[in-house]
Chains A and B, each alone.
Chain A
Amino acid sequence: MADPIVRVDDLVVSFPSRTSKRPVEVISGAGFTVERGSCVVIIGPSGCGKSTILSCVAGLTPFAGGSITVDGDLVDGPDDHSAVVFQHASLLPWRTVLGNVEFGLESRRQVPKKEIRRRALEAIEAVGLAGYEDHHPHQISGGMQQRVNLARAFAVRAPLTLMDEPFGALDALTKELMQDELVRLMHMVSSSTVFITHDIREAIYLGDKILVMSARPGTIIAEFDSPFGADRTRAMTEDRRFDELESSLRDLLGHTTEEVPA
């Protein structure tokens, strides 16, 4: 097997505490790998630090111990190996859809101006927003804003895409639609993906590998390989193995969650 695109070893992250002098450990000794071209989903109870892990891989959050390698290079700050799809679309309200997608490309400074425009238009077309290039964010729906968010990340063509609960705030129908769309896109760009979610069914639907995190201080407590092949369809959800995986994940998460079960 070729070497993995992401290797996280014994990651430790701590934040300064408000109440005591000792820093609080939020991630303690997490480790995993992401194979090239695959989609790894990290699932865990809220507040377990799953977004923090993603932020570390993106080079946005410094970590106290361990190491992260992306595409062969050690991570010590944001670099060109990955692109992030944020939980909130984080679109610039004064820029149009096209302008927002171009922002990522402009900041990367990898391609000339003309190419930026071409790639941005291509990405907008790929996420199904052709015709909306000149709209401002407030003129389009939440689902469409997340499409812009996706397009902005895919347009830079990073080998790794990091997704931080991008569909968490969407209504159920839009969410399913976006998941299908993402499956299509991941096939199209053949990028590797790390996807954070707290939605068990979303994890099974999207993940080639599913990592389960414990409550804080978070670490990886279980790893499941998807029983389904590369072809993701809604028919999967009617498969017996889907339900089995769902109930074992639910059991695991139920035990780790501090919150009162609903």
Chain B
Amino acid sequence: MSVVTIEQSPAATGAGRGRRPRKTASRTALPARSRILLGGAGLVGVIALWEIASRLGWVDPLIASSPSGVVRSAVDLLSNGTLLPAMGSTLRLFLVGFGISLAAGLIIGTLCGWYQRIDAVLDPWISILYASPRIAFLPLIAVWFGPGFLGQLVVVILIAVFPIIINVASGVRAIDRDHLRMAQSFGATNRDVLLKIALPGAIPAVASGIKQGMMQGLLGVVVAEYFLGNTGIGGLIFQAGLMLRTGEALLGAVIFAAAALILSSALRKVESKLDRWRTA
């Protein structure tokens, strides 16, 4: 019997210079179930630890509150009838403010992205306002529009509208050169190019603008309610903070966090419906 022996290299045997055997890289994706399990365990763990810490007096319940304290605040505010109206007023401010921002952002963004002259005139203003910390205008807005709903609305719009304008404009502006030439070769009009190439092509950018606008709008709602009129959930958090009712303040923060999560997951659903054509 003839056997072919292949001489092993010193590196393969690890002999010779006493090198440690090499461990090949072994990164693989974590299964989705493990992800959810670990994430959930982390959340529950921290909340449980917080509750225990507060019960055993490791932290001052007056300052840190506790999960049960937050729940108690929720029950109290529901029963004395302040929570639901506050949520209603916040929701109204958000919906009206974001709605106006969305409409204005889509229109102004499309105009700026398509008509270069309009863009030339508006761009300096948009850039300056977008770059500046717009919350700085709060006292002025209070003076000009009053500390009521109108003033709050202006704050929300001022904060939410710019990300939408800027993303929509850059999406409309970025027409694929190959697409444009193709359209020209078939004699497409400017209107054709706008409606059939620029706008559909801008959908991903528009979606990300809407997402940013939504999140910024939520921030605008909180700020507006803190400083102009102290209404809604924002006002509730502010007042509770002043009175050291930390459970109530945390409850408000939890409500805003939940709202943000719901909004962004709803948007993701719409987004995936709108651009099924994308490979990703």
Interface residues of A (CB under 8 A from B): 58-60, 78-80, 82-84, 86, 88, 90, 92-95, 103-104, 106-109, 136-138, 156
* Interface secondary structure of A, over-half rule: loop
Q: How many A-B residue pairs have CB under 8 A?
A: 61
Give the residues from 176 to 192 in chain B that come closer than 8 angstroms, CB to CB, to chain A: 176, 178-179, 181-189, 192
Contact: A83 with B186, CB < 8 Å?
yes
Q: Residue B123 at the A interface, CB < 8 A? A: no
Tell me, rounded to whole Å, the shortest Cβ–Cβ distance linking B172 to chain A. 14
Give the residues from 149 to 190 in chain B that come closer than 8 angstroms, CB to CB, to chain A: 176, 178-179, 181-189
The 0/1 profile, CB within 8 Å of A marked 1, for residues 247-280 of chain B is 0000000000000000000000000000111110
Contact: A78 with B276, CB < 8 Å?
no
Interface residues of B (CB under 8 A from A): 176, 178-179, 181-189, 192, 196-197, 200-201, 203, 275-279
How far is it, in angstroms, between the C-alpha of A78 and the C-alpha of B188 when the chains are bound?
10
Contact: A79 with B192, CB < 8 Å?
no
How far is it, in angstroms, between the C-alpha of A90 and the C-alpha of B181 when the chains are bound?
9
Q: Which of A59, A60, A86, A94 contacts B201 (CB 8 A)?
A: A94
How far is it, in angstroms, between the C-alpha of A59 and the C-alpha of B192 when the chains are bound?
19
How far is it, in angstroms, between the C-alpha of A95 and the C-alpha of B185 when the chains are bound?
18
6 further A-B contacts with Cβ under 8 Å, apart from A92-B201, A103-B186, A138-B278, are A84-B185, A90-B176, A90-B181, A107-B187, A108-B187, A136-B277
CB-CB under 8 A from B192, the residues of chain A are 106-107
Contact: B197 with A92, CB < 8 Å?
yes
Contact: B277 with A94, CB < 8 Å?
yes
Q: Which of A79, A90, A92, A93 contacts B278 (CB 8 A)?
A: A93
Contact: A92 with B179, CB < 8 Å?
yes
14 residue pairs A–B, Cβ–Cβ below 8 Å: A78-B184, A78-B185, A80-B187, A86-B182, A94-B275, A95-B277, A103-B183, A104-B186, A106-B196, A107-B188, A108-B186, A108-B187, A137-B277, A156-B186
Tell me, rounded to whole Å, the shortest Cβ–Cβ distance linking A146 to chain B. 13
